């Protein structure tokens, strides 16, 4: 009995590590060329081109009011998980109400193909233009305080450093933890509020597709100011190192 309990405990503790270390079978890879076609032209009349909303460079539409994410060079397995989560309604697009229908309309292979293409888009990282967003009347956080939250956490309030999971300066880690540095400011604040919303069981949609509630547990403790500050830092944080290989991390 005790042995069984210890095994369950060990499995739940180490499952994320095990998943993160799992090698990708070559057959699991998407086809980058096929993905490029979906991104650029969509599929028939059914699926709109991804570039319409994520930008022709995959950098998202951060400068306007609609927070669509930067998807260029994001971790392949993370992208694929999001597309699968949208397809199975584990995650809901509550911004433009399109992603669920789009992901459902793609076959599993097409989701792999387009995720591989997004991952292979190796543009320089440049985050949102905070000065311009401020001019537009958006609340902008304090990046210096945000840097401390991301890399050190807030110990007295039990907030772990984001770095523990997302890597230094939000560079991303393993196969589960997305790159946050260079991500759109408005998108970052929207997702953090959405995780917090779900964690608190508030009415309406909240994001709850994170492995073992990892992200909800953190977001539940963040104040509005913490969210603005962390996002203000992350959008302009040092970019992750660019691998020489254009297919890079995650599709290797
Ligand atoms: C009508 C606009 C629109 C189109 C077209 C669109 N997207 Fe999206 N996409 C969004 C929005 C808005 C979100 C954020 C939703 C949210 O916050 O829950 C998103 C989120 C995503 C995410 C999650 C990213 C992350 O960091 O978690 C991925 C991956 C994605 N889209 C891929 C695609 C692909 C692939 C296509 C084309 C087949 C596509 N999108 C077409 C609007 C769009
Ligand atoms: C215990 C691990 C853990 C910690 C600590 C953590 N996160 Fe996360 N975070 C995750 C996981 C896992 C996901 C991906 C959820 C999924 O699979 O959809 C995520 C996703 C996110 C996303 C959504 C990214 C996207 O592209 O949609 C944001 C934003 C985010 N985290 C910000 C933060 C911030 C800011 C902190 C620190 C205050 C933090 N995280 C700390 C585990 C963590």
Segment 230-250, tens digit of pLDDT: 999 999 998 887 654 333 333
CA angle 78, 73, 130 (to 5 degrees): 100
Cα 162 to ligand 1 centre (Å): 23
Segment 91-114, tens digit of pLDDT: 999 999 999 999 999 999 999 999
Segment 195-232, tens digit of pLDDT: 999 999 988 889 999 999 999 999 999 999 999 999 99
Ligand with the closest atom to the CA of 68:
1
Cβ < 6 A, ligand 2 pocket: 69, 81, 149, 160, 162, 164-166, 176-178, 180, 188, 191-192, 209-211, 214-215, 218, 230
Residue nearest to atom 14 of ligand 1 (CA): 68
Contact (CB, 8 A) for 162 and 9: no
Residue 8 has pLDDT above 50, yes or no: no
| Cα separations in angstroms, 71 against 30, 112, 115 | 16, 14, 9
The percent of residues in the chain predicted with pLDDT above 90, rounded, is 74
Average pLDDT value for residue range 161-183? 95
**Closest C-alpha among 182, 176, 190, 188 to residue 236:** 182
How many CB atoms are located within 10 Å of the residue 13 CB? 10
Contact (CB, 8 A) for 35 and 118: yes
Note the pLDDT of residue 63: 60
Please say whether the dihedral angle defined by the alpha carbons of residues 214, 174, 249 and 104, taken in this order, is positive or negative: negative
| Cα separations in angstroms, 152 against 129, 149, 159 | 25, 5, 9
Average pLDDT value for residue range 2-18? 46
Note the pLDDT of residue 243: 56
Contact (CB, 8 A) for 69 and 154: no
Alpha carbons within 13 A on the beta-carbon side of 52:
11
Note the pLDDT of residue 252: 30
Residue 125 has pLDDT above 60, yes or no: yes
Note the pLDDT of residue 238: 87
CA angle 158, 162, 164 (to 5 degrees): 90
Mean pLDDT score across all residues of the chain: 87
How many CB atoms are located within 10 Å of the residue 201 CB? 9
Question: Quick one: which atom of ligand 1 is closest to the CA of 95?
Answer: 12
Residue 7 binned pLDDT confidence (cut-offs 50, 70, 90): very low
Note the pLDDT of residue 61: 81
Note the pLDDT of residue 64: 64
Separation of CA 212 from chain center: 16
Segment 44-103, tens digit of pLDDT: 999 999 999 999 999 888 666 678 999 999 999 999 999 999 999 999 999 999 999 999
Instruction: Give the whole-angstrom CA distance, residue 187 versus residue 103.
Output: 19
């Amino acid at each position: 009995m005790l042995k069984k309990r210890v095994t369950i405990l060990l499995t739940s503790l180490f499952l994320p590590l095990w998943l993160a270390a799992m090698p990708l079978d070559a057959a699991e890879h998407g086809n980058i060329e096929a993905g490029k076609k979906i991104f650029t032209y969509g599929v028939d009349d059914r699926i709109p081109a991804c570039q319409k909303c994520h930008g022709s460079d995959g950098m998202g539409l951060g400068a306007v009011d609609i927070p669509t994410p930067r998807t260029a060079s994001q971790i392949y397995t993370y992208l694929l998980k999001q597309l699968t989560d949208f397809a199975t309604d584990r995650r809901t697009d509550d911004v433009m109400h399109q992603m669920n229908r789009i992901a459902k309309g793609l076959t599993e292979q097409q989701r792999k193909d387009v995720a591989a293409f997004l991952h292979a888009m190796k543009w320089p990282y440049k985050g949102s233009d905070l000065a311009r967003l401020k001019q537009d009347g958006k609340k902008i956080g304090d990046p210096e305080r945000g840097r401390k939250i991301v890399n050190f956490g807030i110990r007295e309030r039990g907030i772990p450093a984001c770095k523990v999971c997302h890597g230094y300066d939000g560079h991303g880690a393993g196969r589960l933890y997305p790159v946050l540095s260079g991500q759109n400011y408005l998108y970052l604040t929207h997702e953090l509020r959405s995780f917090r919303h779900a964690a608190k069981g508030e009415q309406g949609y909240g994001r709850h597709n994170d492995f073992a509630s990892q992200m909800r547990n953190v977001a539940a403790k963040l104040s509005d100011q913490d969210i603005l500050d962390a996002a203000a830092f992350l959008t302009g944080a040092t970019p992750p190192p660019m691998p020489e290989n254009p297919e890079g991390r995650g599709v290797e």
